[in-house]
């Protein structure tokens, strides 16, 4: 909003198909493979058509378009420039993991956030998980876990894994939204929630009590103050190890196209070992939940270029070093592609630069935003100079 005012631009938010109100087939979208059109390719085509029509309706089919987005939206931003450079003239792709990620990169980065604040924090978390697994060996231990974590129902062999993933999910989200001020994105969390969680973990006499306090801080922020916690409803295990929120749409997209191999090993990270899914795991899960699906095995490498993006231009890739998704982002200059600009924001979390200015912004994000504006203006100015040289159009 701030940049649009500065450059005299118009902001257009286009709803992604199958999300919000733009749901083909209405209430029956999950039936009879009606969700097969929930793909990146189809979403991009929607945007291309809408932008083309809008430019004509505004009386100027040559009107310039700068795409922007964060996270999956950042990926779509880059893909729009890759696939429709005739429609999109440049893009700001924030926190966009378009490069292949290592199997354990994401949760290693979550652990690094805790270590960066206090090196003892991951040590205590590991100790707490060891304590959890020991308590699961007896009935009395399971009852103690229920009490410590203020759970609404008992832990059993059937839901133990989900309980552990529920705990891990709290750190996943806190690392993503580790903003320098209180924010309501993905929960009403305090400033630097990772630091606050570590404070609770380190302040407790017992590591397990500290972990329970940290997890309670997170889920109280997302569910509101509650008498007890219900992992079954507060965390949706899905095809994306980093979580799908409470929407099945993203789960389906992961089954069809967008897969990030992500596991934990308790060596490079502080979480219990959970091996990243093999292709057979995805097929078993996705088929059981949604029926036969045709997964695009070459989605990243063929459709969207994998890490060979030098042929593109006019793209800014911004990432925060606190954001675990930066491990799949564009972090270095690309040979022979001077207008593809990586920006690494020290102390920045998930697409912090796309948020409005705040008095507690670190200098790094202020500098990043200023650079982004200068680059976008240069793209627009270059076009204006080209137009002036060739005469009015």
Instruction: Please give the positions annotated as active site.
Output: 71, 323, 350
Angle of helix 105-117 relative to helix 193-203, nearest 10 degrees? Answer: 70
Burial class for 158, CB neighbours closer than 10 Å (0-12, 13-18, 19+):
exposed
Helix/strand/coil for 318: strand
As a whole number of angstroms, the distance between CA 327 and CA 100 comes to: 9
Nearest to 366 by CA among 374, 357, 378, 376: 357
**The total number of residues written for the chain in this structure:** 393
Q: Which residues pair with 317 in a beta bridge?
A: 93, 342
Q: What is the DSSP letter of 229?
A: B
Helix/strand/coil for 66: strand
Quickly tell me which residue has 């699961």 as its tokens.
Answer: 136
Angle of helix 207-223 relative to helix 120-135, nearest 10 degrees? Answer: 90
Helix/strand/coil for 100: coil
CA 70 and chain centroid, separation: 8
Q: Give the C-alpha distances (Å, rounded to integers) separating 274 from 94, 105, 269, 333.
A: 28, 13, 11, 34
Beta strand pairing call for 340-345 and 90-94: unpaired
Beta strand pairing call for 66-70 and 340-345: unpaired
As a whole number of angstroms, the distance between CA 94 and CA 73 comes to: 8
CB within 8 Å of 287: residues ≥ 6 apart: 293
Please count the other Cβ atoms lying within 10 Å of the Cβ belonging to residue 239.
Answer: 22
Sign of the alpha-carbon torsion through 198, 204, 205, 210: negative
Nearest to 219 by CA among 159, 145, 117, 149: 149
Give, for 82, the enclosing helix (H) or strand (E): helix 72-83
């Amino acid at each position: 909003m701030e940049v649009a005012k500065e450059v005299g631009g118009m902001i257009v938010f286009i709803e992604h198909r199958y999300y919000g109100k733009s749901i083909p087939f209405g209430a029956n979208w999950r039936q009879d493979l009606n969700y097969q059109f929930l793909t990146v390719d189809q979403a991009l085509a929607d945007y291309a058509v809408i932008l083309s029509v809008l430019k004509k309706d505004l009386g100027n089919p040559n009107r310039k378009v700068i795409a922007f987005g964060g996270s999956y939206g950042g990926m779509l931003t880059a893909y729009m420039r890759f696939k429709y450079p005739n429609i999109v003239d440049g893009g700001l792709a924030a926190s966009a993991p378009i490069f292949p990620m290592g199997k354990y990169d994401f949760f290693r980065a979550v652990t690094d956030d805790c270590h960066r604040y206090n090196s003892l924090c991951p040590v205590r978390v590991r100790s707490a998980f060891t304590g959890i697994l020991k308590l699961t060996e007896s009935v009395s231990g399971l009852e103690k876990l229920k009490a410590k974590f203020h759970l609404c129902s008992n832990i059993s062999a059937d839901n133990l894994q989900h309980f552990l993933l529920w705990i891990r999910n709290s750190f996943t989200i806190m690392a993503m939204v580790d903003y320098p001020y209180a924010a309501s994105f993905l929960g009403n969390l305090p400033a630097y929630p990772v630091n606050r969680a570590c404070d609770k973990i380190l302040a407790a006499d017992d590591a397990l009590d500290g972990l329970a306090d940290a997890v309670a801080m997170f889920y109280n922020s997302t569910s509101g103050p509650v008498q007890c916690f219900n992992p079954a409803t507060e965390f949706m295990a899905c095809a994306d190890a980093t979580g799908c929120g409470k929407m099945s749409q993203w789960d389906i997209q992961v089954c069809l196209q967008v897969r990030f191999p992500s596991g934990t090993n308790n060596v490079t990270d502080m979480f219990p070992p959970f091996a990243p899914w093999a292709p057979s795991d995805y097929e078993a899960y996705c088929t059981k939940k949604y029926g036969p699906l045709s997964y695009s095995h070459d989605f990243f490498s063929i459709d969207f270029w994998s890490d060979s993006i030098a042929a593109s231009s006019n793209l800014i890739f911004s990432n925060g070093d606190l954001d675990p998704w930066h491990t799949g982002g564009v972090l270095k200059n690309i040979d022979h592609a001077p207008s593809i600009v990586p920006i690494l924001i020290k102390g920045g979390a998930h697409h912090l630069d796309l948020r409005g200015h705040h008095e507690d912004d670190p200098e790094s994000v202020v500098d990043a935003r200023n650079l982004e504006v200068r680059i976008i203006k240069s793209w627009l100015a270059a076009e204006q100079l080209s137009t002036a040289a060739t005469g009015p159009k």
